[in-house]
Amino acid sequence: MIIVIGFSIPLIALLIFVWSLASYAIPAVESGPLDHMYNLTLGNQSYPIRYGFTEGNSAMVENIYSNYPSKSITVIINDDNLTATDWEKRVFSIELPRNIVNANTTEIAGGCRFFVPGNNTVFWAQEHDIEYDVVVNTLSKDNTANIYKGHWKQELCGRDTRTVSFDYSTGKSMTVIQGTVMIPEFGMSSVILSIVVVSMISGCLAMQRCLHFEAK
C-alpha cells in the first residue's frame, strides 16, 4: 500500500504539470479555404491568385499588388469585425504560384518533398525552397504603418504552388510577402523577346546592305 502511494504522488504531479501546459496551449488555428480569387497584374499580364480567410470571417482584401525590384507581393486587408483578442480567427492564406513569385536558394535548404504513399520513394522535391519573408503592418487612418507582431505563420508547399498563412491585425493592415525571384525572371518576356528579334533582323539587314555594297 505504501509503495502504491509512493508512486502515485509523482504520477499526480506529472498529470498536474501536463494539465497546466494544456491550459496555456495555443488554440487550434484553421486557415480556412482558398475560396476567393484576385487578378494580380504583373507588367501587361494578369494572373489569378487564390486566397481565403478563416471560415466565417467577413474581412475584405482591398488590393494585392507586386513590386518587381523587391520581388514582393503586398496585400491590403480591411477587417473591423473582430476584437484584438480573436487573432486565431484572423488568419489569411494566399496561394502563390511558383512561376510568379518564389523563395529559394542555390543551396540545398531542405525545402519540401512528396513521397509516394506506402514507401520512401521521392515523387518530387523542391529542396531549394526557403521561407518567404512576411512582414505584417497595421495601417492607421493616415496610412502610417506600424509593425504587427503576429502569433502564427505557416507555409505549405506544393509542386507548382506555395501557400502562406498568417494572422493579421484588426482594422486595416498591409502585409508584404517577399521572395527571391519573380516573373519575368523565370523566362524572357514577350516584350524583351520582340526587342531581341527586331535587333537581330536589323543587324542582318544592315550586314546584307554592307555585303551588297562591297560586292559592287
Q: What is the mean pLDDT of residues 112-131?
A: 80
Whether the Cβ atoms of residue 173 and residue 139 lie closer than 8 Å to each other: yes
Whether the Cβ atoms of residue 33 and residue 55 lie closer than 8 Å to each other: yes
Q: Which helix (H) or strand (E) holds 199?
A: helix 190-215
Give the strand pairing for 171-178 and 101-102: unpaired
* pTM of this structure: 0.70
Q: Which residues pair with 161 in a beta bridge?
A: 97
Query: pLDDT tens digit string along 125-183?
Result: 888 899 999 999 999 989 899 999 999 999 998 889 999 999 999 899 999 999 999 99
Q: Average model confidence (pLDDT) for the chain?
A: 77
Strands (E), 54-170: 60-67, 72-79, 91-97, 101-102, 112-115, 122-126, 133-139, 145-147, 153-157, 161-167
Q: From CA 194, how far away is CA 87, in angstroms rounded?
A: 49
Cα–Cα distance list, 22 to 8, 25, 30, 72, 121 (Å) = 21, 5, 19, 38, 37
The CA angle 71-73-76, to the nearest 5 degrees, is 155
Cα–Cα distance list, 176 to 69, 75, 93, 148, 199 (Å) = 13, 7, 13, 12, 38
- pLDDT at residue 213 in the model: 46
